[in-house]
Structure 1
């Protein structure tokens, strides 16, 4: 079992900015907020930087 490298908080409005930004396509649309595909995430932080609501936390 893998651990998600990202946490998407309740502040997420599902705007989709992170989905479009992720170079690894490690975020998938899901009801309520995006789902993290842990195996694909490289922890680059691009989604954290682009999120207009600061709703993504990168766990390092």
Structure 2
């Protein structure tokens, strides 16, 4: 399995904006914050831009 291209910090409020924005459907609801499906994520950065809590960092 590929390494996660994103880090979602504890600042996440679980608002769901990133889930709705991801064009690859690479995020799914998790316990307290979304889970990244690394094999689907293309590291486009759309979730980083839309996150109102500034809780997502792109690693690649």
Instruction: With the length of structure 1 as denominator, give the TM-score of the two structures.
Output: 0.97
User: Hey, what does 2:47 align to over in structure 1?
Assistant: 47
Say whether residues 1:28 and 2:23 are aligned partners.
Answer: no
Say whether residues 1:56 and 2:56 are aligned partners.
Answer: yes
Any gaps of 5 or more consecutive residues in structure 2?
none
User: Hey, what does 2:38 align to over in structure 1?
Assistant: 38
Shift of 1:31: 1.2
2:20 counterpart SS class: helix
Q: State the alpha-carbon separation in 1 of the partners of residues 43 and 2 from structure 2.
A: 14
Any gaps of 5 or more consecutive residues in structure 1?
none
Instruction: With the length of structure 2 as denominator, give the TM-score of the two structures.
Output: 0.97
Q: State the alpha-carbon separation in 2 of the partners of residues 41 and 50 from structure 1.
A: 16
Aligned residues: 60
Q: State the alpha-carbon separation in 1 of the partners of residues 33 and 49 from structure 2.
A: 17
Q: State the alpha-carbon separation in 2 of the partners of residues 41 and 14 from structure 1.
A: 19
